[in-house]
A and B are shown apart, each in its own frame.
Chain A
């Protein structure tokens, strides 16, 4: 048996006020790390949820995204009739040739952002079956019309139904708004593929192809057939893999997270150490008494570590509430957050703080408390009872 946990808990409670600065700094570390983690995981969630497992992405060999790929009309015409591709009710292959460019668009705030403009044909809505037109209608070919992802509405100048959005060399009339279950299609602008290619001065009409694999078909065989065709140097992969790779590139954000979190964490750790040293100082006689009564050094060490951990947990609780409030506030005031890290185009991400983000921030706070408390607790445990009791 040793000192009860309530001893440490009550000591934390007894000096909450004096510890408030330290608690605030730990809370700050929690907010900083949790919000940033939430941004990264929200971005990854958005990207990963964009892919459909039934779809294949076909790009020029060596291209890791639509934007850097090119594909001839001839290749599209050939691939369309490969075996294993799903067909619609009219017997047409469910294949969507697409042209992707990344023009800059002026935001309402006046800054310029790269947006992903996807030139498509009507089949796009069949391949990307989670994309739904929720207002207005689909654009008509060759008429300078555009359909906007819901995330872009109100973010860019002219990005409203019935208005005109300027990018490339012309203005596009907005005739429809689309939603796609929070995926990154909601950050895109869809226009007619040929119109986009000619506006962007691209020699080929398409960047790549998205296609639906027929139910029960051998997906791997289809992939091999596309990749092994000697006429076109192409590569095909499941759409889910494609977006998972895009999400991977957002891992570079972790470097930023570390750069941000380390100094705040160190400051918080020093704060924790500081208040714990003060506590040991103030309670020297108490420690001497406990040791004189027969409590071991290990017991004292544990009690003070636990106390430091407790202070960190109060900081975590404050920080967690702050994080959730901040995320809600950002959502309400700013709406989606524009991310340009993964694909160079702006991904509009709804910030959602997940349990995993808070769990990581919890571990961070716990580490701050325990590491910060180590030295003071060690000093407390090392106090010699005779000397400590003389401080009375």
Chain B
């Protein structure tokens, strides 16, 4: 009935959703948003004329990818009460500034955890068993010429040390246990519900570890947590796998240790200055390099969409947020 259309109240326009993103992150990840919400995108092309006004009233911000959210951004959008993050790591968000203003923050929660844990194990096996290097060897046609490939190092039964026993770290532990590996960890506090050995400092953990997996959050305290001392303790036969953030490792030291053979190898999905990777690593067979893709599966993104949508819906219905940190 035509009359019904005239009776639609302005307050029934879909709620405002501010999208905060770097140009390289497309909104195609969240197509459903356009149907449910009035999406305000400062990078819309052509530019949205209503953006400057409406953005001042937006109560919720979707932060896509590692786009920084600090005091400047919070000042620019003063009505924002909640920042919905789309990654597991939140080091790009000034959590203290958010807390001061009473702005709540949500993360991706467990959406990526299985995939990241799988990737960590995959990188570790690749480094120890030289999978990528051997694949290169075969594709170069070297097998008929050289007959034998270099021996690798056994994975099963090795000592695994996990830095950060959170959602990802606990999944990494569960996987390696099936390989007969012993698990030890360092974390801000002892996890009473696990029987793994706890080390209060990372150097001690590294001294008793063959495979060191770095999967903790990047904060001021954990910046360069993997430093020269840790790598010295890990030693020539130890390997490092980093699926956290590049800055968890002192990258210059790591390169030195790898080039000199003072640690056995490394599997790296993250780097301090992505997408730049230290040139020295590009020719080493003892490393496996990955372009920050540990979460790039359709399943992870489907799970992320669910979490993001769920958090936004919870916010607008005044229900508890799903993955508030």
Q: Tell me, yes or no, whether A binds B.
A: no
